[in-house]
Amino acid sequence: MSLEISSLNVSIADKQILKDFNLTIPKGEVHAIMGPNGTGKSTLAKALAGHPDYTVNKGSALLDGEEIFGLEPDKVARKGLFMAFQYPVEIPGVSIANFIRAAVTARMNKEASDAFSATAYYKALYAKMDELKIPREFTARSVNEGFSGGEKKRCEILQMAMLRPKYAILDETDSGLDIDALRIVAEGVETMRGPDIGIVVITHYQRLLNYIKPDVVHVMYGGRIVKSGGPELALELEARGYGWVEKEFGALV
Amino acid sequence: MSQNETQEEKVPNIDVERDVGNFSYQTTYDYDAGKGLTEATIDYICDVKGEPDWMREFRKKALKVFNDKPIPLGWASEDLKTIDLDRISYYMAKGRPTRSWDEVPEEIKQTFERLGVPEKERAFLAGVEAQFDSESSYSSMKEELFKQGVIFVSSSEGLMKYPEIFRPWFGKVIPIGDNKYSALNSAVFSGGSFIYIPKGVKLKQPLQAYFRINAEEMGQFERTLIIADEGSEMMYMEGCTAPQYETSSLHSAVVELVALKGAKIQYVTVQNWSSNVFNLVTKRGLALEDAEIRWIDCNIGSRLTMKYPAVVLRGERARGEVLSIALAHDGQHQDTGSKMIHAADHTSSNIISKSISIGKGRASYRGMVQMPRHLKHCKNNTECDALLINTNSRTDTYPAITVRGEGNSVQHEASVSKVSEEQIFYMQQRGIPEAEAMSLAVNGFVNDLVREFPMEYSVELRRLIDLEMEGSVG
Ligand SMILES: Nc1ncnc2c1ncn2[C@@H]1O[C@H](COP(=O)(O)OP(=O)(O)OP(=O)(O)O)[C@@H](O)[C@H]1O
Ligand SMILES: [Mg+2]
Where are the alpha helices (H) located in B69-214, listed in sequence order?
106-115, 119-125, 135-147, 155-161, 163-169, 180-188
In A, minimum Cα distance to B417 occurs at: A92
CA of A44 to the centre of ligand 1 (A): 10
Question: Could you report the per-residue pLDDT of B199-241, keeping only the tens digit for each?
Answer: 999 998 888 765 444 444 445 788 999 999 999 999 998 875 5
Lowest mean pLDDT among A121-135, B55-69, B398-412: B398-412
DSSP string over A127-145:
HHHHHTT--GGGGGSEETT
Task: Give the total number of structural domains in chain A.
Answer: 1
**B214 touching A, CB under 8 A?**
no
Contact B170, B55 (CB under 8 A): no
- Percent of chain A scoring above 90 in pLDDT: 87
Using CB atoms, which residue from B420, B425, B445 is nearest to A93?
B445
Residue B161: which of B152, B169, B148, B171 has the closest Cα?
A: B152
Banded pLDDT at A226 (limits 50, 70, 90) = very high
Q: Is A41 in the pocket of ligand 1 (CB under 6 A)?
A: yes
CATH code, domain with A89: 3.40.50.300
Contacts with B358 (C-beta within 8 Å, 6 or more apart), sequence order: B327, B328, B329, B330, B389, B390, B393, B468, B472
Q: What protein residues have CB closer than 5 angstroms to ion ligand 2?
A: A 41-42, 86
More confident residue, A47 or B471: A47
Give the pLDDT score at A87: 95
Banded pLDDT at A156 (limits 50, 70, 90) = very high
Sequence spans of domains, chain B:
26-426
- H/E element holding B399? strand B394-403
Banded pLDDT at B7 (limits 50, 70, 90) = very low
Q: What is the mean pLDDT of chain B?
A: 80
Q: Using N-to-C axis directions, what is the helix angle for B53-68 and B180-188, rounded to 10°?
A: 150
Give the pLDDT score at B37: 83
At residue A154, does pLDDT exceed 90? yes
Range of the domain at A172: 2-252
> What is the number of the ligand 1 atom nearest to the C-alpha of A53?
1
Query: Is this prediction's ipTM beyond 0.90?
Result: yes
More confident residue, B149 or B407: B149
- Per-residue pLDDT, averaged over A110-138, amounts to 92
Question: Could you report the per-residue pLDDT of B291-308, keeping only the tens digit for each?
Answer: 999 999 988 878 888 999
What is d(CA B73, CA B64) in angstroms, rounded to the nearest whole number? 19
Using CB atoms, which residue from A85, A93, A106 is nearest to B433?
A106
Q: What is the pTM of this model?
A: 0.81
Question: Could you report the per-residue pLDDT of A207-224, keeping only the tens digit for each?
Answer: 999 999 999 999 999 999
Burial B427-448 (b: 16+ CB within 10 A, else e): bbbbbbbbbbbbbbbbbbbbbe
Ranked by mean pLDDT, which of A136-145, B17-26, B69-78, B380-389 comes out on top?
A136-145
Residue B149 CB coordination number (10 Å) = 12
Give the pLDDT score at B67: 92
What is d(CA A144, CA A146) in angstroms, rounded to the nearest whole number? 6
At residue B129, does pLDDT exceed 60? no
Contacts with A173 (C-beta within 8 Å, 6 or more apart), sequence order: A84, A153, A156, A157, A185, A189, A201, A203
- Percent of chain A scoring above 70 in pLDDT: 99
Give the pLDDT score at B279: 87
In A, minimum Cα distance to B448 occurs at: A93
Question: Could you report the per-residue pLDDT of B447-469, keeping only the tens digit for each?
Answer: 888 888 777 677 777 777 877 77
Contact A8, A20 (CB under 8 A): yes
At residue B322, does pLDDT exceed 90? yes
In B, minimum Cα distance to A86 occurs at: B426
Question: Could you report the per-residue pLDDT of B262-302, keeping only the tens digit for each?
Answer: 999 999 988 877 777 888 899 999 999 999 999 999 888 78
Residue B382: which of B393, B372, B363, B397 has the closest Cα?
A: B397
User: What is the β-pairing status of strands A66-67 and A167-171?
Assistant: unpaired
What is d(CA B118, CA B240) in angstroms, rounded to the nearest whole number? 11
Residue A132 identity (one-letter amino acid): L
Interface of B with A in 397-456 (CB under 8 A): 420-423, 425-434, 436-437, 440-441, 443-448
At residue B332, does pLDDT exceed 90? no
At residue B1, does pLDDT exceed 70? no
Ligand 1: residue of A16, A21, A43 to mutate (most ligand atoms within 8 A of CB) is A43
Q: How far is B357 from chain A (nearest CA, A)?
A: 17
At residue B417, does pLDDT exceed 90? no
Give the pLDDT score at B219: 54
Q: Contacts of residue B385 in chain A, CB cutoff 8 Å? A: none
Ramachandran quadrant class, A172 (left: phi over 0; alpha: psi -120 to 50; beta: rest): left
Distances (CA, A) of B205 to B74, B144, B233, B235, B461: 42, 11, 10, 7, 20
Give the pLDDT score at B140: 59
Give the pLDDT score at B285: 98
Q: How far is B431 from chain A (nearest CA, A)?
A: 4
With 0-12 / 13-18 / 19 or more C-beta atoms within 10 angstroms meaning exposed / middle / buried, residue A225 is middle
Give the pLDDT score at A161: 97
Q: Using N-to-C axis directions, what is the helix angle for B39-49 and B180-188, rounded to 10°?
A: 50
